[in-house]
Structure 1
């Protein structure tokens, strides 16, 4: 790639951040905020809670850290929530990604800058793909994975998801976005701050990240670390039953569960959120490290 992710213009940036900050206020107050230097720029990370068993949260496309506002209080700390570099949020990209391996190496820089090892890496939606990509190309700092209705890991995007997303982007009207968000989430959450942040990011930011596609079967079979994968039985962005079955076949040691009444926004319903938190807290691996005490890490 030759370009970097950035806001479309100064006016777009000015529109975006009030939406982002409003959604951030839905999260618990972070105990520490980091801007971690890496080979591709600076990655914003929020730490919630203390302890020695780090959970790191990777959001879906344009979702930023704020998408985890309702889940963070349910998790045993420390929890690190990341604004994905190359997408909208507080991370700032200064150098292009060469390929998907280069992207994983850049995120390994972030974990190293935070002083983290034995990480329980949690990824939702496209963040699930990002987590798997990390396990394939830069796994040394990881202890285990948790995938929350991951996209393009064991099943492709559905044709309906691609068509509806394209229509919403091209027409770019609130009414169309509301329909798309309600369809994809299984409930009208368009007015929720986290959903507004996603739409604002798509409207105001030009993401420049390597093409996301399903890993090769051999790459998935080579993953040896523990994997917890949860799928929404009512997810419409892919076939969740096929995605779960394919993952079971490709990663036989994985713990795979389908939450029958959950949509793609897997932790929208309180009962599903409670189940997800229970599984993450029970499955995470001991041995993580404390973050450094400084605000910025280089």
Structure 2
């Protein structure tokens, strides 16, 4: 095993696949910035003088998570999609502890390197946790907070993990079914070359084993910026109803939308988030 990957060959397959898909996405500025916790890869797009948005993907992913959103959101905002540390992207393979201020320090350094003093943040799953953690620790730097199936709020569910373990012995078809079960249900099952790449990632890297800390009600009450949360009502990884209940109680100024029939890969979040970000322009 090397770093976060199961082998040198596995690492090469993931990163080569990543670069191949990056070449197929909309053109963006690419840079690697230094931080105290390791070098960090960032893809930026949109007018340089437009309001900035920091995009943080989920575990087992990279900036490709935002590929479909870039062409739309970059028309009105300067987007900075960041490869999260310790995930299968082009940033350092270090994994600072989640129960410390390390990731806030990391994002401090990323923003400084990008010349950003404050920004809207959008995060998916683990990225939603990182964005929320930063908003709690640096509220003056977060103008708006858009969360998609965020970790750390609703109760974590373990059924998907149990099913995945049961399907593992059935080879490639079993592992593919396990992946689709975990992210489902969805109206658009993953298929084709990109699904093959996601499958390669899942079998090639070592996921984080430490649980993601849950935010307390007291912490959620201190979120002073506008918050939009979108989640699949049938998410098999996190209890979305619990997410909605806790946010409604602790942060009544926030907006929560649960999409019926969707799981941990919700559809139809692009337009609501863009509207939410556009509201910032009208203030």
TM range (shorter): 0.7 to 0.9
Equivalent position of 1:28 in the other structure: 26
Tell which has more relative contact order, 1 or 2 (C-alpha 8 A, sep 6+).
Answer: 1
- Structure 1, unpaired ranges of 5+: 288-298
Secondary structure at the aligned position of 2:25 is classed as coil
- Within a 5 Å distance, the mapping from 1:149-188 to structure 2 comes to 149-153=149-153, 155-167=154-166, 171=169, 173-183=171-181, 184-185=183-184, 186=186, 187-188=188-189
- Whether the aligned pair in 2 keeps the contact of 1:143 and 1:285 (CA below 8 Å) is no
- Whether the aligned pair in 1 keeps the contact of 2:120 and 2:277 (CA below 8 Å) is no
- Whether the aligned pair in 1 keeps the contact of 2:232 and 2:264 (CA below 8 Å) is yes
Equivalent position of 2:16 in the other structure: 18
Query: 1:91: Cα distance to partner?
Result: 0.4
Query: 1:94: Cα distance to partner?
Result: 5.5
Give the TM-score normalised by structure 1.
0.82
Query: 1:6: Cα distance to partner?
Result: 3.4
User: Which of 32, 35, 39 is matched with 1:38 structurally?
Assistant: 35
Computed over aligned residues only, the root mean square deviation of the Cα atoms, in angstroms, reads: 2.7
- Within a 5 Å distance, the mapping from 1:1-298 to structure 2 comes to 6-30=4-28, 32-50=29-47, 51-75=49-73, 76-93=76-93, 96-97=96-97, 99-153=99-153, 155-167=154-166, 171=169, 173-183=171-181, 184-185=183-184, 186=186, 187-193=188-194, 195-206=195-206, 211-267=211-267, 272-284=268-280
Count matched residues: 276
Cα distance in 1 between the residues matched to 2:171 and 2:84: 25
Secondary structure at the aligned position of 1:6 is classed as coil
Give the TM-score normalised by structure 2.
0.86
Query: 1:66: Cα distance to partner?
Result: 0.3
Query: 1:39: Cα distance to partner?
Result: 0.7
